[in-house]
């Protein structure tokens, strides 16, 4: 074995395992998953992205090399949770549409709307996944709206699948707050948070 053919001793403990789950509410300090807070079953896993957008304030300044670090400016962050969902409940369809209502009289009917309301934004959505050491990784997406609309793909002799892209947004009330927060909580190999019934922790 070569001198530098090594990996960190914490590699196994830091590995994230399995697909994780999307939740309406989650408390990292009390990490039991409440069944009523699970948003939907998923297939193919969940993709979380939080990507900054930079501009070079000196790109048009004479005699300044491209990419000089002192002139880089962070314009903002694009933060999303995306997956392929298996749920087609009225609430799941309404969430996928983003700008829509469940009919007040016929609760099986979901109607897209022309005008976006602030109430269409969910205060937060969580993804939580296991770590190999018994701990967990959690991601909170804030001020959440489904931005890619509703797309149902059906198959012969198979299950229908719905694309779901949830995007976080900056609030005018907290303009410096990036709409995604991350947690990496260490555990032990014997730790298990389990699943409970009832109502979730509000956020």
CA-based radius of gyration for the chain: 21
Question: pLDDT per position in the chain (203 positions), as tens?
Answer: 688 899 999 999 999 999 999 999 999 999 999 999 999 999 999 999 999 999 999 999 999 999 999 999 999 999 999 999 998 999 999 999 999 999 999 999 999 999 999 999 999 999 999 999 999 999 999 999 999 999 999 999 999 999 999 999 999 999 999 999 999 999 975 444 455 555 444 44
Distance CA 198, CA 119 (A): 24
Nearest to 162 by CA among 174, 176, 148: 148
With a threshold of 0.75, does the pTM exceed it? yes
pLDDT at 188: 76
Class of domain 11-190: mainly beta
Residue 158 backbone dihedrals phi, psi, to 5 degrees: -135, -170
Are 128 and 19 a contacting pair, CB within 8 Å?
no
SS3 92: helix
Domain map (residue ranges) of the chain: 11-190
The residue written with tokens 């005008």 in the block is 115
Are 140 and 166 a contacting pair, CB within 8 Å?
no
């Amino acid at each position: 074995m070569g001198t530098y053919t090594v990996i960190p001793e914490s590699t196994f403990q830091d590995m994230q395992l399995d697909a994780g789950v999307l939740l309406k509410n989650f408390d990292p300090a009390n990490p039991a998953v409440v069944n009523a807070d699970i948003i939907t079953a998923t297939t193919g896993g969940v993709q979380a992205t939080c990507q900054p957008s930079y501009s070079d304030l000196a790109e048009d300044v004479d005699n300044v090399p491209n990419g000089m670090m002192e002139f880089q400016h962070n314009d903002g962050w694009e933060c999303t949770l995306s997956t392929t969902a298996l749920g087609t409940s009225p609430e799941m369809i309404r969430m996928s549409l983003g700008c829509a209502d469940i009919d007040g009289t016929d609760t099986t009917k979901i109607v897209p709307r022309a005008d976006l309301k602030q109430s269409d934004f969910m205060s937060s959505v969580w993804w939580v996944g296991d770590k190999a050491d018994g701990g967990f990784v959690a991601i909170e997406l804030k001020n959440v709206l489904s931005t890619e609309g509703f797309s149902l793909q059906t198959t012969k002799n198979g299950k229908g699948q719905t694309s779901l892209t949830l995007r976080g947004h900056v609030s005018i009330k907290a303009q410096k707050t990036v709409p995604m927060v991350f947690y990496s909580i260490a555990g032990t190999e014997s730790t298990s948070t389990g699943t409970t019934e009832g109502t979730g922790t509000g956020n």
